[in-house]
Each structure stands twice: as C-alpha cells, then as structure tokens.
A and B are shown apart, each in its own frame.
Chain A
Amino acid sequence: MNYLLFIIGFLLLVLIGTAVYAVRQRDLLYAVIATGVISLALTALFLVLQAPDVALTEAAIGVALTTIIFIITIRNTVRYEDEKDKK
C-alpha cells in the first residue's frame, strides 16, 4: 500500500506548489497555465482516490475549457497583474 501513499503525497505536493505559484506569479498567463497543472494533478488525484467520474469531469473541463475562457479574458484585458511587470 505504500506506493499509494507515495503517489498521493507527490501529487499533493505538486498541487500545493502549483497553487502557490499560481497565486504568486505576476504574469497572469503563467498563472493560468499553472491552473492547468492544478487541474492535471487533481485529475490524477481523483483517479487515485477512486473517483473516475470526477476525474473525467475535471479532465474534460480543466484541460481546455477553463484555459480558453481565461485566455480569452487575458487577450481582451491585460496580461500582467501590474503594468510595470511588463518587460
């Protein structure tokens, strides 16, 4: 059973790390890509926790649809949290 612990622990670390990254990152596009990684880790985690239905939903919605609506919003507004972040 220890391998499950390893996988889950690894995914949880990825989840937290990416969440912190998404919140701290000042370039919104990178933050959006980070939400994609969050959704990826969540999908795997849901599968490991024996919820394939939920994993499927998270995969189907988190991969492309959330990304596209965020990206369209960024395109229509600004890409940086603060104008001075723009290099």
Chain B
Amino acid sequence: MKKAIVIFLLAVFGFFLAVTFLDPDFEAERNHNGVKNFYLDKTVSQLKTANTVTAIVVNFRGFDTLGEVTVLFLAATALGSILFKKRHHIGDRTVLMPASSIVSAGSKLIFPAIILLGAYVFIHGHLTPGGGFQGGTIIATGFLLMLIAYRDFSISHNVLSVIESFAGIGFVTFGLLGFMNGGTFLQNFMGTGVLNDLISGGVIPVIYILVGFKVAAELTGLIYTILHEKG
C-alpha cells in the first residue's frame, strides 16, 4: 500500500520534471550567451588560464571553492566526532590480515607513481582537466591502497592536520592578499604569464595546489578514521 502511494507520488513528480525538462520550449527559450562567452573570453585574455573550468572554480567563483573545501574539512571533522570512542587502542590495525605478497609488493611499487599522478593532476590544473580536488582525491586513493595492503602502514594524524591547516590558511591568506593588493578578496594579483605555460594564470595554480594538499590531507584523514572503525 505504502509502495503504491509512493509510486503514485513519484509519477506525479516525474511528470512535472518531464514536462519541465523535456519540453522543446525549455531549450528554445534559453538565453544565456552572455556569461559563457564572457568567461571564455576573459579566461584567455586576462587570466591566461587554459582551462576555463579551473578559472571559474578558482577565480570567478573562488568563493564557492572556499566553501567547498570547508565542507570537506567539516565532513572529515564530523566523521571523527561522530565515530568518536573514548577508549582508543593505539595498536589498532587497519586491516585484519596481511595481503598477498603480490598485492603488497605491487602497491609499494605503484604508490609513488600514484602520488606523482596526483601531483601532476593538481599542478597542471590550469592546463589540463583536473585540479586540486581531483589530484587530492588521487593522492588519498594512493594512501588508501597502502593502508589496505599493509598492516603496519600508519599515518600521523597530527601531520595530516598540520598539512590541512596550513593549506587552508594558505588559501584564505591568498584571498586576503588579493584583498590587500587589488581591492577584492581572492583577486588575481600575480602576473599571469603566457597561455599554456606551466607558470601562467597568476594565483590560480597556487591556490589549486593548496587545495590539492588540503583535499589530500582531509580525505586521507577521513579514510584513516573510518578504516580504524571496528564494529
């Protein structure tokens, strides 16, 4: 009975959504060339950043990114707070049994390459797809591989939180530096260089690198916390 009601409600809801989005008018009445062309134009001419999405994420809508980083920070902190237990076993292992020697040898071998891949992704955030979030996530995934392949691989929570704090402070500080130099928060106050060079885009790659460090530290901490959770 409950299912029937739910399905009926969903049908109504879906009908409205379908009428909205599948209507040809929905495309026909669209009117948004201004923003897109402005962004594409200014990204090349002023910011000298090849990747427009990066330019939007870090510069035009940089405030969102600050909020987003904060959301991740909050999520990692909240995870620690929610799963908090009073007795804390120091000798807790993340995994119960050792992995096969092939898996552990392979992870050891591929781990630096994964970290390098992450670093590559966030250093080239303004040139190729990707950036701080993606790079940070890749690095965290690398740590995840090590954590599940080795029983005695441990990361210091303090180191993680120091990295995280410094990256976050760096982000806000760069924003405030723009505030002091150019007049607005997060303003691009550094020289922009030549399009498609590694050193271009002014403050954008710097902020994305900081975001990369921060996301990597946050996600690694998150995984580390949740892996230590034994039911």
> In the complex they form, do A and B come into direct contact, defined as C-beta atoms under 8 angstroms apart?
yes
Q: Which residue in A52, A63, A69, A76 is a CB contact (below 8 Å) of B230?
A: A76
CB-CB contacts of B93-128 with A at 8 A, as 1s and 0s?
000000000000000000000000000010000000
Instruction: Please name all residues of chain B whose beta carbon is closer than 8 Å to the beta carbon of A60 when the two chains form the complex.
Output: 133-134, 137-138, 141
Total number of B residues with any Cβ neighbor in A under 8 Å: 24
What number of A residues sit within 8 Å (CB to CB) of B? 16
Contact between chains at B137 and A57 (CB < 8 Å): yes
CA distance A68 to B144 in the complex (A): 9
B141:A57 contact, CB within 8 angstroms? no
- From B51, B137, B144, B219, give the contact of A53 (CB < 8 A): B51
Contact (A65, B141) CB under 8 Å given A76-B230, A76-B231: yes
Q: Are B130 and A53 in contact (CB under 8 A)?
A: yes
Q: Which residues of B contact A5 (CB under 8 A)?
A: none
| Total A-B contacts with CB atoms under 8 angstroms apart | 48
B66 within 8 A of A: no
List residues 5-56 of chain A with CB under 8 A from any CB of chain B: 52-53, 55-56
Q: Quick check: is A4 within 8 A (CB to CB) of the other chain? A: no
Considering only residues 183-231 of chain B, those with a C-beta below 8 Å from chain A are 219, 222-223, 226-227, 229-231
Chain A residues whose C-beta falls within 8 Å of the C-beta of B131 in the assembled complex: 53
B137 touches A61 (CB 8 A): yes
Could you tell me which residues of chain B, from 153 to 186, have a CB within 8 Å of some CB in chain A? none
A-B contact pairs, 27 of them (CB 8 A): A52-B129, A53-B51, A53-B130, A53-B131, A56-B134, A57-B133, A57-B134, A57-B137, A60-B133, A60-B134, A60-B137, A63-B141, A64-B144, A64-B145, A65-B140, A65-B144, A65-B219, A65-B223, A68-B223, A68-B226, A69-B222, A69-B226, A72-B227, A72-B229, A75-B231, A76-B230, A76-B231
